[in-house]
Amino acid sequence: MRDTIPSLAIVIPCYNEQEVLPETSSRLLSLMRSYREENLVTGDSYILLIDDGSKDNTWEQIEALSRTHPEFRGLKLSRNFGHQHALLAGLHQANDVTITVSVDADLQDDLNAIREMILKYQQGAEIVYGVRDDRGSDSVFKRSSALLFYKILSWMGVESVYNHADFRLMSQITLDAFRQFGERNIYLRGMVPMLGYNSDTVYYKRTERFAGTSKYNLKKMLSLAWNGISSLSIQPLRFVTFCGFSIFSISILLSLYALYSYLFQETTMGWTSTVLPIYFLGGIQLLCIGLLGEYVAKIYKEVKQRPKYIIEKIVR
Ligand code: UDP
Ligand code: MG
C-alpha cells in the first residue's frame, strides 16, 4: 500500500477525432476534477492529447482546450505516425508525473475503470492492464480476427494480455525502464509485459465508438498485427529452418531412391541426372536459407539493443 498521492497524466492519441473530442474532453475534465477533489491524484495532474497528424479540426480543438483549461496539454506530431508511435510520443512526454493512463479518444473504453486502475496502483501494482470483459460491441470480423491473432501470437511465443488493447496504467518507473527499449518497430501491448514488475488487471465492458468511424482501416490493422509478430518473434525465420531441414531430409531419401533406380532398375536415360540435383540442391538451398535466417534472427535481436535486464529496486 502506497501512502503518497500520485500525479496522473491521461495520455490520448487522436487521429481525425473531431467528432468525439468535445465529448471525450468534457468527460475527462470532470473525471480529472473529481479525482483531484477526492485527493486520488495531485493538483498538477493533467490530460495530454496527442494529435497524430490529423487532417480535420482535431488540433484546433486541442489548442482551444489547452488555452481554456489548465488541465489540458497538447502535443502535435508533424504527420500521421500511427497509433502506437503517437501513444509512445505521449508517454515519453509525460515524464513529469508518477503515473500515466493511456486510453483511446473514442470512449470505447470505460473511463470509470481509471479510478480502479489508480486504486490498484495504490495497492502496489506498477502496471495495470485494462481488459475488456466481452467484445460484444465489436464486429464479428474484428472479434474472430483478433482471437486468431492472439492465438498465433501466443503460439509464436509472444506473451500478451488477452483482450487488452492500449488502455493501461503505467507508473513512471516502468516507463523509465521502457525507455531502454531502443527499437523502432513497436507493438506496445506485446512489449509492456516484457518489462516485468508487479502488474494487475481491471475488467471493463467495451462499448461502441461514441462518434466517428474507426481510424484503424484494414491496412493499419494488418500492419499492426504483422508488426506484433515480426517485432517480437523470430518464429517465422525458424519456420524456414524447419522446412529446410525437413525437405533436405526428404531430398536425401529421394536422391538415394533415384540413385538406386539408376543402378538396379530400368530408368529412362537422363532421369537420374536430372532429378538427383533437383532434389539435392532444392533441399540444401532451403536448409541454407534457414541457416542464414538463424543468424539474421540473432542480428535482428542484437540491433534492437533491448536491455538485457531491468533492475526494479536496489536496497542498501
Ligand atoms: N489513432 C491514432 N493514429 C492513427 C490511428 C488511430 O492516433 O493512425 C488513434 C485514434 O484516434 C484512437 C485510437 O488510436 O484514439 C484507436 O483508434 P480506433 O478507435 O479508431 O481503433 P479501433 O478501436 O477501431 O481499433
Ligand atoms: Mg476504437
Say whether pLDDT at 115 is over 80: yes
Atom of ligand 1 nearest to the CA of 209: 19
Atom of ligand 1 nearest to the CA of 142: 25
Find the range with the poorest average confidence among 43-52, 73-82, 108-117, 230-239. Answer: 230-239
Hey, whose CA ends up nearest to atom 23 of ligand 1?
214
Measured from the CB, is residue 15 less than 6 Å from ligand 1?
yes
List Cβ neighbours of 1 (8 Å cut-off, separation of 6 or more): 122, 123, 124
For ligand 1, mutation pick of 12, 62, 216, 217 (most atoms within 8 Å of CB): 216
In three-state secondary structure terms, 52 is: coil
For the chain, give the percent of residues with pLDDT over 90: 45
Say whether pLDDT at 308 is over 80: no
Distances (CA, A) of 85 to 2, 52, 102, 219, 300: 31, 9, 13, 16, 20
Average pLDDT over residues 245-250: 88
In three-state secondary structure terms, 129 is: strand
Contact between 9 and 89 (Cβ < 8 Å): no
Average pLDDT over residues 221-239: 85
Q: How many whole angstroms from 310 Cα to the centroid of ligand 1?
A: 30
Of all ligands present, the nearest one to the C-alpha of 108 is: 2
Q: How many whole angstroms from 205 Cα to the centroid of ligand 2?
A: 13
CATH of domain 8-213+307-315: 3.90.550.10
Say whether pLDDT at 311 is over 70: no
Q: In what order do the strands lie in the sheet with 8-14?
A: 72-76, 46-51, 8-14, 99-102, 164-171, 127-132, 199-204
Rounded distance between C-alpha atoms, residue 316 and residue 310, angstroms: 18
Say whether pLDDT at 310 is over 80: no
Cell 508533424 sits on residue: 78
The cell for 34 is 473529481
Cell 538427383 sits on residue: 276
Residue 177: predicted pLDDT: 92
Instruction: Give the count of beta carbons closer than 10 Å to the beta carbon of residue 301.
Output: 11
Whether the model clears a pTM of 0.85, i.e. scores above it, the answer is no
What residue type is 193 in one-letter code?
P
Measured from the CB, is residue 210 less than 6 Å from ligand 1?
no
Average pLDDT over residues 3-30: 94
